[in-house]
Structure 1
């Protein structure tokens, strides 16, 4: 196998920045949401994914995959949100062994309440740093990388 060409300085800078971004950005948004809304980024993401799902419901495994969490981690988050009345867990109509997470009306209202804080945090910590960047092109490139793995 031939040796690939070395990275250009810009390529090297990008490759080195990505791990830091993947670590720092979620932590910064999480800290903002916890401070301003007393909701974690993982909880926000679970509510948001359910709000986008047909009938505002997903099987627990599907919700875990959509949130990029383990099933046990997702179960803990859903348990907390269920305790607040934001999500209900019901038996699957297709498979009585499985569980489905359902976003409640209170969950939708809470999502709408937290949304401005999430948006401000995303703009402050990420999008605000992309002035002059073709965001659409960047999004498509990142989606291609993600789809390849």
Structure 2
């Protein structure tokens, strides 16, 4: 029996994923625009806000966002001009620096999050039962860990993995954040 490759469920899975992603981005855009943040600005501020000490090495931030190092530098330059982020020198490695969320950045994030979370609830997570959401998140993490293994670079989860590998961390213990 010949199966038409155009009917392959793998194509359907990719198509549905692309449609859902585009639709969610379109639904989230008004709240982000009202806050004065672009998609990448919001992602950057959110990742910093959810990271230990609300900061990440610039290289880890680039890995998490999928931006090049020059791309993340441009984003941080813009956010720094707006007073939402500041650069902090690394005390143990002069070549490295951190992007850190400022009080103004935290306030901007806290202002947009209630609307953003309502949008997520109304057109995404609220459509799923608790069990469906748990399974969906596990599935997304499984796929993410293959296609973007650096997406958690510099987070508490990555730091715990580093500590388990026997490398010394130079920061005090921080409570583990939920995985993204």
Interval of TM-score (by shorter of Structure 1 and Structure 2): 0.7 to 0.9
User: TM-score normalized by structure 2?
Assistant: 0.67
Q: 1:47 touches 1:103 (CA, 8 Å); kept in 2? A: yes
Q: 1:37 touches 1:117 (CA, 8 Å); kept in 2? A: no
Q: 2:63 aligned to 62, 65, 68, which one? A: 65
1:46-61 correspondence to structure 2 within 5 Å: 46-61=44-59
Q: 2:31 touches 2:112 (CA, 8 Å); kept in 1? A: no
> Equivalent residue for 1:137?
135
1:1-149 correspondence to structure 2 within 5 Å: 13-34=12-33, 36-130=34-128, 134-149=132-147
Q: Structure 1, residues 121-147: CA drift from partner, whole Å, max 9, x if none?
A: 223343344469711111111211222
Gaps of 5+ in 1: none
Compute the displacement of 1:73 (Å).
Answer: 2.1
Q: Structure 1, residues 109-132: CA drift from partner, whole Å, max 9, x if none?
A: 111111112112223343344469
Gaps of 5+ in 2: 148-180
Tell me, in whole angstroms, the C-alpha distance in 2 between the residues paired with 1:137 and 1:7.
28
Matched positions, count: 145
* SS of structure 1 residue aligned to 2:95: coil
Q: Structure 1, residues 85-127: CA drift from partner, whole Å, max 9, x if none?
A: 1111122222212221111112111111111121122233433
Q: Structure 1, residues 26-82: CA drift from partner, whole Å, max 9, x if none?
A: 343234311x22212221221121122222211111112222322222222211111
Tell me, in whole angstroms, the C-alpha distance in 1 between the residues paired with 2:139 and 2:6.
18
Tell me, in whole angstroms, the C-alpha distance in 2 between the residues paired with 1:84 and 1:108.
13
Tell me, in whole angstroms, the C-alpha distance in 1 between the residues paired with 2:68 and 2:117.
26
User: TM-score normalized by structure 1?
Assistant: 0.79
